[in-house]
Amino acid sequence: MIKILFFGSIAAKIGRREMMIDRCGLTLADVVKEAGLETFKPLLVAVNQQQEHDLNILIQDGDEVAMMPPFAGG
């Protein structure tokens, strides 16, 4: 099971904050596509709370993937 989290304007756009995917062998790019965010730019992605720039990595069962718009703290 892969847990996807949505934040900020992305959560507002998608209308939810969380989504589960129960499939194996997905790349990070596949997960972004499953979430319907392949055209969302700029999109920041984190895997298990670490920012990840390589969309080709394989996502493992139990991973937490976050879909994030650019940060705006401070």
Partner 1 sequence: MNSDMNKQQDAVRIQEADFSIEAEVDALRATSKRIGGITTFLGCARDFSEGRDVFSINFEQYAGMATRAMLSLRDEALEKFEIIDLRIVHRVTTVHAGDKIVLIVVGAEHRGPAFEACEWIIDSLKQRVPIWKKEVTPDGDSWVTEHP
Contact residues for partner 1, defined by CB under 8 A: 5, 7-9, 12, 44, 46, 49-51, 66, 68-74
Residue 3: helix, strand or coil by DSSP? Answer: strand
- Residue 56 Cβ vs partner 1, minimum distance, rounded to whole Å: 22
**What are phi and psi for residue 33, nearest 5 degrees?**
-65, -45
**Cβ distance to partner 1 smaller for residue 39 or 49:** 49
Whole-angstrom CA distances from 22 to 11, 25, 38, 44, 67 are 20, 10, 19, 22, 17
- Residue 1 Cβ vs partner 1, minimum distance, rounded to whole Å: 19
**Cβ distance to partner 1 smaller for residue 26 or 66:** 66
**Cβ distance to partner 1 smaller for residue 12 or 24:** 12
Cα separation, 64 vs 50, in Å, equals 10
